[in-house]
Amino acid sequence: MSGKAGSDSTPAVVAEALALRELLQSTANPSTPHCFQHYLYFPSRDVGTAVAQQLQARGFTVESRLGADGVNWLVLASHHLPLEPRIVEAARSSLEQLAREHGGEYDGWEAAPVTE
């Protein structure tokens, strides 16, 4: 499942809510924290590396590499969250702000259902 970034009135937020609802319905144990992977893109390696370090300090597991477009730097930040809409929304909002502050873009999240 994946959720895209956007403000509360955008189709992207509606898509995020639908993805979260689908994730809740398809998981074996909704109370178990799920691994969320967040995609952030930055215009340079230096900026991406600086943001990656900030995210690691916040407790994220981070992978940083050149994006698939061969131009922008991808920071893939993972952490575990409960499947509670307010918590997921707060995480997204915080990462959107971090990306904006560094001239980057937050491109949404992915999470897989917990099947055990």
> What's the pTM?
0.85
Taking only the tens place, the pLDDT of each residue in 19-38 is 888 888 887 777 789 999 99
CA gap 22, 112 in Å, rounded: 10
pLDDT tier for residue 107 given thresholds of 50, 70 and 90? very high
Which residues pair with residue 61 across a beta bridge? 78
Q: Please give the domain boundaries of the chain with CATH numbers for all domains.
A: 2-111 (3.30.70.970)
Compute φ and ψ for 37, nearest 5 degrees: -110, 125
The DSSP letter of residue 70 is S
CB neighbour list of residue 94: distance below 8 Å, 6 or more residues apart: none
- In tens, the pLDDT along 34-75 reads 999 999 999 999 999 999 999 999 999 999 999 999 999 999
User: Sign of the C-alpha dihedral, residues 90, 43, 73, 62?
Assistant: negative
